[in-house]
C-alpha cells in the first residue's frame, strides 16, 4: 500500500478493497482517475489508466523519489515497478521482465518509454562513455521502431502495429551493456489497405512530408501522400517533418551509415510507387498500364525493368521434374501479387532494421569470468485483447498471444504467492482460479488446434480458399465448447455462412472473418531476386540481398511452400513465453478510459470490459486469497509505532517482531494476522484500516508538537544570526572602504571624455581588504579602454590591424621601420596586373585556397648568389613562385605547412629567409614598390604569416619559428636568438 496518499484518493491498492466485486473495483478505479491518480497497485502489479494529457510526474525529482526505494514506500507509479525490477536484478542477480499489456490506445508505448527513461536515468552514475553510448542507442531505437512500426488508427494516433520485446543486458555493476529486440507480427496488411480515418505506417508520411526536395526528386516522389494509393486514405500529421528529422538523427546515433539510410528510404519509395502500378487485361493476357512507375522501381532497387514487370505479371512454378514454368496472372491475381510484394518488402525491411539495431546493441565477446554475471531486464510491449466487428487473421493471432500471456500471468502470480508464503513459513491453502488453458489449446494444440488445421488445409492440393479452411475447422472443432460457426449454429444470424466463425475467449466472444489473409505464402518477388543474385550492385541491392536470403536458393527450393504465418507466430510466442517464464515478472496493465481521447471522461462499460479481459479482478482475488497485506517488521513498526505506548518513540524489546506483536495485541486483532520469518501478514484490510485511522488521529498532535519545537529553533537561529550581523558590522572598517570608492569615483569621473579614456590616470592605493577588488576593477577598466579603442576601427580594417599587432609582437621592437604607419594592401600584384588576377583565380579554383595572405615582386637569390626577378604569392594553403615575364607562370608551389619558420634582419633591408622542414630554405628580397621606394614590406609579410599561424591553426603549427637577426653596421647579418611564436 502506498504510504503517501490519503483515503480521499481512494484505495491505492485494489487488494485493500472492502469487498472484491466489480462494482467496488470500478468505483475505486474511477475515483482515482478523476483525482488525477492514474496508477494503482494490485500487489506488485501496476494498473495504468491513460490520462490523455501531459502530467508532471515524470521529472528528475520523481525519478530521485523512487530511486532505490521499496515498492510501497511511494504512491503507485511506473517508476516503482521499474525500480523493483532493477533492484531484483542487481541485488539478487535475478533476470527480471516487465510485461506491459492493454488494448490499442491504453498507453503501452508511452509506458515502455517511461520505463526505459527511468532505467537509463538511474544507471551509470560515473558517466562512462561506453555505457552512455549503449543507453543512447537503446533510447533512440524507440524512435526508429515507432516510425516504421507505428501508425495512426481510429483508436490511437500512435498505435504500435507490432509486438516488441527488448532484453537489456547489465553488467555486475548494474550498468547496461547492450540488448536485443524481438519483434512479433507486424501488421503488414496496413501497408496496402487502411480503414477509413486511419493511416499507413508513419515512415511513409515522414518521407513524403519531411524529405527534402532533392531527396524526393531522386526517389521520383512528390510530397503529397494523396498521390499514392497506399497513403491516399491517411491524413497528414503536423509533426511528420519534425518526426522525420528525429528519425534521421536517431538512425545516425544508432550507427546506420549514410548509404544504409538512403537505401531504407529508397525501398519505402519503391513500395509507394509499387502501389501506383495498375494492370489491364485484353481477355488473354494482363499488361501493366504505363511503365514509368516500373522503371522508377527498377532504378531504386537496382533491378532491370523487365525483371520487375515479369515479377508482377507472372508466377514461377517448379515441376517435379525440375522444369520451371512461368504462369501468367489474371488481373485480380496481379493486383493481389503486387500488394503481397509490397507487404513482403515492408515486412522484411522492418525485420532488417530490427536486426541492424540488434547488431549494434547486442553484447559481443562477453566473458563472465572477466566481467561477472550478465543479468537481463526484459521489457515487453505487446498488443492487448481486442474485439472488432471484423476480426482479421492478424487479430486472431493478437488475441491468441494475449491468451497465452494471460495464462502465464495467472500462473506466475499464483506461483509468486505460494513462494512467498513458503519462504515465510505461512500455511497456504490451495485456491481455484480461472484457467484459460482450454482456449490456448484450441488455438495451438498439435493436430487439433486451429493453427494446425489451417496448416493442413494449406497443404491441400489445388486452390486453398477461405471456405476450405472454414469447413475444415467446422469438421474438426464441432464438439469444442469454445468454438462455433454459422454452420454449427444455424440460428445465430450474427454470423454468415462460409465466412464467420466464433471463439469464446475468456474476455468475450470474438467473431473471425475469413477474408483471404488466412495464410502467409508471400513468395512474390523471391524468384526475381534469385535470378539476379549474380548481378547484385551496391547500395539498396545489398540490403535487399540481406532482406531476401532465400534469393540465393534454387528455384525448386524457393517455390516450396513455407511455414504459414500462424505457425511462425505461434512458434515465436511459445519461445517468448518460455523466455518470460524463466524471469521474475513485473506487470503493467494499461486501461483505456474512453474512446474520445478525453482527459475527463470515464466510460464505465468500456473500462469494465477491459478489467474483465485483463483478469484484474481475478488477480485481486488471488492476491487476497491468503493475506491482503504483508510488510517487513521494521517498516510496519516504523509506520505504526506511534499507536502503541510500548513502542513510541522507541521500543526496548528484544526484536522488532516482539514490538509488532505488542502493537497488534494492543489493538486486538491478533487473530487476523500471521507472523512470518521477516514479515507480518494481515488477512483482512479492515484491520489495517483500523491502524490507519488511529495513526491519522495521532498525526495532528505530533505535527503540533513538531511545529512548536521547530518554531522555537527558528527563533533562536534568527536571534543568533542578527547578533552575528551586528558584530560583523561593528568590526568592519566601513569608512576606509567607502573612502577608496569615493576616490576612485572622483579620479575616473570624466574618463569617457578624456582623449586616452583614463589610461594616464593613476589608481589610488586600495586597502588590504579590497586588493582583489582593486585588481578586478583595473582589469575591467583596461578591457573597457581597449574596447573603446577597438570599436572605432572599421570592420574592413580589422584584418590589417590583427596583422600589425602580430608583427608588433613578433618583431618585439627590434626593427625600427616595419611599415606600421602605412596602409597594408597585402595583395600588391592583384592591384597592378590583370594577368596576375586571372592566374590567381585559376589557382584558387584549382587549389581551393580561401585567402591571399601576401603577394608582391621580389628578387630571388639562389645558393650561387644569383638573383632574378620573381613574383611571390602566399595563400592560406600554398606559397607560389611566379614568373612575371611569362604571364605569371607558376614556377614552384610549396605547401604552407612545409614552412617551419622565417628569419629577417633588424635593419631596413627587405631580406626574408623562409625555412622548410627539408632545410631547402628560400631566400628572397621583397621589392619596395615603384611609387614608394622606401616602403617596407617585410613587416607586412611577417604580420600576415604570424597572424595566420597563431589564429587559424594554432595547434598544428605551434612549432612555427620566427628568428630576428641583428644587423651589423656594414649590413652583414649577425647571430640573434630565436623568438618562438606560440
- At 283-332, the pLDDT tens digits run 778 888 888 888 998 888 888 888 888 888 877 665 555 555 566 778 78
**What residues does each domain of the chain span?**
629-704, 751-789, 796-964
CB 918 within 8 A of CB 929: no
Query: Please, what is the Cα angle at 148 between 147 and 152, to 5 degrees?
Result: 65
pLDDT recorded at residue 98: 92
* Per annotation, catalytic residue among 163, 178, 384, 819: 384
Of the candidate ranges 129-143, 858-872, 900-914, 925-939, the one whose mean pLDDT is the lowest: 925-939
pLDDT recorded at residue 235: 64
Q: Which of 505, 235, 562 is nearest to 391 (CA)?
A: 505
pLDDT recorded at residue 813: 76
| Distance from the Cα of residue 202 to its chain's centroid | 16
Mean pLDDT in residue range 765-769: 86
For the cut 50, the answer to whether the pLDDT of residue 980 exceeds it is no
Cis before 269 (ω within 30): no
Strands 45-49 and 584-591: parallel
pLDDT recorded at residue 565: 72
Whether 929 sits among the annotated catalytic residues: the reply is no
* Per annotation, catalytic residue among 141, 160, 203, 540: 160
Q: What is the mean pLDDT of the chain?
A: 81
CA 573, CA 230: separation in Å to the nearest integer?
30
Whether 159 sits among the annotated catalytic residues: the reply is yes
Query: Please, what is the Cα angle at 467 between 463 and 472, to 5 degrees?
Result: 95
- Give me the architecture of the 629-704 domain, per CATH: 2-Layer Sandwich (3.30)
What's the helix, strand, coil split of the chain in %, to 5?
50, 15, 35
CA 906, CA 488: separation in Å to the nearest integer?
113
For the cut 90, the answer to whether the pLDDT of residue 246 exceeds it is yes
DSSP state of 343: H
Q: 966 in helix, strand or coil?
A: coil
Query: Please, what is the Cα angle at 109 between 5 and 45, to 5 degrees?
Result: 40
- Give me the architecture of the 796-964 domain, per CATH: Roll (2.30)
Helix (H) or strand (E) holding 963: strand 961-965
Half-sphere exposure of 548 (CA within 13 A, CB side): 27
pLDDT recorded at residue 114: 93
Helices (H), 255-378: 258-275, 292-300, 305-313, 331-361, 368-371
CB 910 within 8 A of CB 918: no
DSSP state of 973: B
Helices (H), 425-539: 437-444, 450-458, 466-476, 526-531
Mean pLDDT in residue range 251-274: 92
CB 962 within 8 A of CB 981: yes
Residues recorded for the chain: 982
Whether 307 sits among the annotated catalytic residues: the reply is no
| The model's pTM | 0.63
Whether 840 sits among the annotated catalytic residues: the reply is no
Higher pLDDT: 477 or 70? It is 477
Whether 906 sits among the annotated catalytic residues: the reply is no
Helix (H) or strand (E) holding 412: helix 393-424
* Per annotation, catalytic residue among 110, 299, 347, 386: 386
Residue in the block written with cell 466472444: 509
- At 592-611, the pLDDT tens digits run 999 888 999 999 999 998 88
Instruction: Please tell me which of 386-400, 491-505, 527-541 the model is most confident about, judged by mean pLDDT.
Output: 491-505
Cis before 582 (ω within 30): no
Whether 825 sits among the annotated catalytic residues: the reply is no
Measured distance between the N- and C-terminal CA atoms of the chain, rounded to whole angstroms: 68
CA 549, CA 562: separation in Å to the nearest integer?
14
Q: Which residues pair with 872 in a beta bridge?
A: 856, 881
Binding residue ranges: 102-109
CB 280 within 8 A of CB 287: yes
Helix (H) or strand (E) holding 781: helix 771-790
DSSP state of 948: I
* Per annotation, catalytic residue among 74, 109, 231, 905: 109
Residue in the block written with cell 503501452: 108
CB 216 within 8 A of CB 299: no
Strand ranges inside 592-660, DSSP E = 629-632
Q: Which residues pair with 905 in a beta bridge?
A: 965
For the cut 60, the answer to whether the pLDDT of residue 466 exceeds it is yes
* Per annotation, catalytic residue among 74, 82, 104, 183: 104
Q: 380 in helix, strand or coil?
A: strand
CA 935, CA 817: separation in Å to the nearest integer?
9
Whether 792 sits among the annotated catalytic residues: the reply is no
CA 844, CA 433: separation in Å to the nearest integer?
84
Q: 880 in helix, strand or coil?
A: strand
CA 68, CA 58: separation in Å to the nearest integer?
16
For the cut 60, the answer to whether the pLDDT of residue 550 exceeds it is no
pLDDT recorded at residue 372: 52
* Per annotation, catalytic residue among 48, 156, 303, 402: 156
Binding residue ranges for ATP: 102-109
Mean pLDDT in residue range 914-942: 79
**Under 8 Å CB-to-CB from 961, ≥6 apart: which residues?**
900, 901, 915, 978, 979, 980, 981
Map 503-514 to HEC letters: EEECCEEEEEEC
Mean pLDDT in residue range 340-356: 91
DSSP state of 761: P
* Per annotation, catalytic residue among 40, 159, 540, 564: 159
pLDDT recorded at residue 486: 79
For the cut 90, the answer to whether the pLDDT of residue 250 exceeds it is yes
For the cut 90, the answer to whether the pLDDT of residue 90 exceeds it is no
**pLDDT range class, residue 173, cuts 50, 70, 90:** confident
Mean pLDDT in residue range 11-21: 87
For the cut 60, the answer to whether the pLDDT of residue 534 exceeds it is no
**Under 8 Å CB-to-CB from 34, ≥6 apart: which residues?**
600, 602
- At 610-649, the pLDDT tens digits run 888 787 887 887 777 777 677 888 888 888 888 888 888 7
Whether 351 sits among the annotated catalytic residues: the reply is no
Query: Please, what is the Cα angle at 337 between 332 and 339, to 5 degrees?
Result: 100
Of the candidate ranges 369-383, 526-540, 823-837, the one whose mean pLDDT is the lowest: 526-540
pLDDT recorded at residue 6: 75
CA 161, CA 165: separation in Å to the nearest integer?
13
Residue in the block written with cell 444455424: 490
- At 112-161, the pLDDT tens digits run 999 999 999 999 887 888 888 888 888 899 999 999 999 988 878 888 88
How would you class 451 by CB atoms within 10 Å of its CB: exposed for 0-12, middle for 13-18, buried for 19 or more? Answer: buried
Of the candidate ranges 429-433, 616-620, 856-860, the one whose mean pLDDT is the lowest: 429-433
Higher pLDDT: 814 or 364? It is 814
Amino acid at each position: 500500500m502506498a504510504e503517501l496518499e490519503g483515503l480521499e484518493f481512494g484505495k491505492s491498492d485494489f487488494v485493500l478493497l472492502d469487498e472484491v466485486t466489480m462494482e467496488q473495483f470500478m468505483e475505486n478505479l474511477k475515483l482515482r482517475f478523476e483525482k488525477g491518480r492514474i496508477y494503482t497497485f494490485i500487489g506488485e502489479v501496476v494498473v495504468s489508466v491513460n490520462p490523455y494529457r501531459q502530467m508532471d510526474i515524470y521529472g528528475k525529482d520523481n525519478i530521485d523519489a523512487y530511486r532505490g526505494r521499496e515498492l510501497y514506500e511511494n504512491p503507485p507509479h511506473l517508476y516503482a515497478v521499474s525500480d523493483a525490477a532493477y533492484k531484483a536484478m542487481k541485488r539478487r542477480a535475478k533476470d527480471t521482465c516487465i510485461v506491459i499489456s492493454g488494448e490499442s490506445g491504453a498507453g503501452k508505448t508511452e509506458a515502455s518509454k517511461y520505463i526505459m527513461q527511468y532505467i537509463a536515468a538511474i544507471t551509470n552514475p560515473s558517466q562512462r562513455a561506453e555505457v552512455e553510448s549503449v543507453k543512447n542507442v537503446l533510447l533512440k531505437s524507440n524512435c526508429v521502431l515507432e516510425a516504421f512500426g507505428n501508425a495512426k488508427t481510429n483508436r490511437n494516433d500512435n498505435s504500435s502495429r507490432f509486438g516488441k520485446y527488448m532484453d537489456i543486458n547489465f553488467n555486475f555493476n548494474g550498468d547496461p551493456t547492450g540488448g536485443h529486440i524481438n519483434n512479433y507480427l507486424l501488421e503488414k496488411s496496413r501497408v496496402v489497405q487502411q480503414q477509413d480515418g486511419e493511416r499507413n505506417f508513419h515512415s511513409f508520411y515522414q518521407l513524403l512530408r519531411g524529405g527534402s526536395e532533392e531527396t524526393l526528386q531522386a526517389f521520383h516522389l512528390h510530397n503529397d501522400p494523396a498521390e499514392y494509393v497506399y497513403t491516399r486514405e491517411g491524413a497528414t500529421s503536423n509533426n511528420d517533418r519534425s518526426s522525420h528529422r528525429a528519425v534521421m538523427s536517431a538512425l545516425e546515433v544508432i550507427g546506420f551509415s549514410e548509404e544504409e539510410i538512403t537505401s531504407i528510404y529508397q525501398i519505402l519509395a519503391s513500395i509507394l510507387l509499387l502501389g501506383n502500378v495498375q494492370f489491364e487485361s485484353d481477355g488473354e493476357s494482363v499488361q501493366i498500364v504505363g511503365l514509368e512507375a516500373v522503371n522508377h522501381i527498377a532504378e531504386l532497387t537496382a533491378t532491370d525493368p523487365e525483371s520487375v514487370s515479369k515479377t508482377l505479371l507472372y508466377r514461377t512454378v517448379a515441376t517435379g521434374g525440375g522444369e520451371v514454368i512461368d504462369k501468367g496472372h489474371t488481373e485480380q491475381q496481379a493486383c493481389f501479387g503486387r500488394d503481397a510484394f509490397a507487404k513482403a518488402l515492408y515486412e522484411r525491411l522492418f525485420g532488417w532494421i530490427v536486426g541492424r539495431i540488434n547488431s549494434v546493441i547486442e553484447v559481443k565477446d562477453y566473458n563472465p569470468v572477466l566481467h561477472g554475471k550478465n543479468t537481463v531486464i526484459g521489457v515487453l510491449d505487446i498488443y492487448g485483447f481486442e474485439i472488432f466487428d471484423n476480426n482479421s487473421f492478424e487479430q486472431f493471432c493478437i488475441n491468441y498471444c494475449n491468451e497465452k500471456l494471460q495464462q502465464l500471468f495467472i500462473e506466475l502470480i499464483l506461483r509468486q504467492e505460494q513462494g512467498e508464503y513458503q519462504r515465510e513459513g505461512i500455511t497456504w491453502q490451495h485456491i481455484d482460479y480461472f484457467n484459460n488453458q482450454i482456449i490456448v489449446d484450441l488455438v495451438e494444440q498439435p493436430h487439433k488446434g486451429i493453427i494446425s488445421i489451417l496448416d493442413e488445409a494449406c497443404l491441400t492440393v489445388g486452390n486453398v480458399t477461405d471456405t476450405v479452411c472454414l469447413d475444415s475447422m467446422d469438421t474438426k472443432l464441432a464438439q469444442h465448447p469454445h468454438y462455433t460457426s454459422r454452420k454449427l449454429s444455424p440460428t445465430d444470424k450474427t454470423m454468415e455462412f462460409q465466412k464467420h466463425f466464433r471463439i469464446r475467449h475468456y474476455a468475450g466472444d470474438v467473431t473471425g472473418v475469413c477474408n483471404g489473409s488466412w495464410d502467409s505464402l508471400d513468395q512474390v518477388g523471391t524468384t526475381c531476386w534469385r535470378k539476379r543474385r549474380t548481378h547484385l550492385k551496391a547500395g539498396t541491392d545489398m540490403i535487399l540481398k540481406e532482406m531476401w536470403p532465400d534469393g540465393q536458393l534454387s528455384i525448386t527450393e524457393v517455390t516450396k511452400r513455407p511455414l504459414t504465418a500462424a505457425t511462425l507466430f505461434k512458434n515465436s510466442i511459445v519461445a517468448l513465453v518460455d523466455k518470460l517464464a524463466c524471469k521474475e515478472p513485473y506487470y503493467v496493465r494499461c486501461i483505456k478510459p474512453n474512446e474520445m481521447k478525453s482527459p475527463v471522461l470515464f466510460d464505465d462499460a468500456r473500462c469494465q470490459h477491459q478489467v474483465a479481459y485483463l483478469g484484474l479482478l481475478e488477480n485481486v482475488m488471488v492476491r487476497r486469497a491468503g493475506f491482503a497485506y504483508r510488510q517487513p517488521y521494521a517498516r510496519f513498526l516504523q509506520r505504526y509505532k506511534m499507536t502503541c505506548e510500548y513502542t513510541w518513540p522507541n521500543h526496548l524489546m528484544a526484536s522488532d517482531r516482539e514490538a509488532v506483536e505488542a502493537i497488534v495485541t494492543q489493538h486486538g486483532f491478533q487473530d487476523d494476522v500471521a507472523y512470518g520469518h521477516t514479515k507480518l501478514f494481515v488477512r483482512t484490510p479492515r484491520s489495517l484500516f483500523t491502524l490507519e485511522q488511529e495513526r491519522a488521529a495521532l498525526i495532528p498532535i505530533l505535527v503540533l508538537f513538531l511545529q512548536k519545537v521547530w518554531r522555537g529553533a527558528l527563533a533562536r537561529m534568527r536571534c543568533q544570526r542578527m547578533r552575528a550581523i551586528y558584530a560583523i558590522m561593528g568590526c568592519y572598517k566601513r569608512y576606509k572602504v567607502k573612502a577608496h570608492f569615493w576616490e576612485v569615483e572622483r579620479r575616473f569621473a570624466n574618463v569617457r571624455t578624456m582623449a586616452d579614456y583614463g589610461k594616464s590616470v593613476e589608481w589610488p592605493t586600495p586597502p588590504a581588504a579590497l586588493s582583489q577588488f582593486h585588481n578586478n576593477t583595473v582589469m575591467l577598466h583596461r578591457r573597457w579602454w581597449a574596447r573603446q579603442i577597438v570599436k572605432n576601427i572599421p570592420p574592413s580594417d580589422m584584418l590589417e590591424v590583427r596583422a600589425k599587432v602580430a608583427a608588433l609582437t613578433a618583431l618585439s621592437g627590434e626593427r625600427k621601420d616595419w611599415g606600421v604607419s602605412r596602409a597594408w594592401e597585402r595583395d600588391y600584384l592583384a592591384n597592378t596586373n590583370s594577368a596576375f588576377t586571372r592566374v590567381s583565380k585559376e589557382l584558387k579554383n584549382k587549389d581551393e585556397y580561401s585567402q591571399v595572405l601576401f603577394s608582391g615582386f621580389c628578387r630571388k637569390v639562389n645558393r650561387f648568389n644569383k638573383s632574378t626577378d620573381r613574383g611571390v604569392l602566399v595563400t592560406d594553403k600554398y606559397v607560389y613562385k611566379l614568373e612575371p615575364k611569362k604571364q605569371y607562370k607558376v614556377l614552384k608551389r610549396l605547401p604552407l605547412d612545409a614552412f617551419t619558420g622565417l628569419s629577417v634582419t633588424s635593419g631596413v633591408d627587405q631580406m626574408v629567409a623562409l625555412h622548410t622542414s627539408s632545410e631547402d630554405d628560400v631566400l628572397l628580397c621583397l621589392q619596395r614598390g615603384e611609387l614608394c621606394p622606401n616602403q617596407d614590406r617585410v613587416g607586412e609579410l611577417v604580420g600576415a604569416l604570424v597572424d595566420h599561424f597563431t589564429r587559424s591553426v594554432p595547434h598544428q603549427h605551434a612549432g612555427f619559428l620566427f628568428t630576428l637577426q641583428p644587423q651589423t653596421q656594414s649590413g652583414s647579418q649577425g647571430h640573434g636568438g630565436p623568438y618562438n611564436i606560440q
